[in-house]
């Protein structure tokens, strides 16, 4: 079962790390902020959360 993460748009700086690394789960919206488009497995979700430099990704 996958985990659908959340992106806090107020914290997102649009760096693109999540979009580039986890394209199956994130894309850019019209404001060049990350948005969730899919799910990740537990381990990969934890990696995505930890890799966000702005701390904008959460469960």
Place of tokens 């894309």: 27
pLDDT of residue 13: 98
Q: What is the pLDDT of residues 13-40, one digit of tens each?
A: 999 999 999 999 999 999 999 999 999 9
- Which sign, positive or negative, has the C-alpha torsion 22, 33, 56, 36? negative
pTM of the model: 0.94
């Amino acid at each position: 079962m996958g985990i659908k993460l959340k992106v806090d748009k107020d914290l997102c700086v649009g760096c693109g790390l999540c979009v580039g690394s986890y394209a199956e789960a994130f894309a850019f919206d019209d404001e060049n902020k990350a948005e969730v488009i899919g799910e990740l497995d537990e381990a990969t979700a934890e990696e995505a959360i930890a890799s966000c430099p702005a701390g904008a990704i959460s469960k």
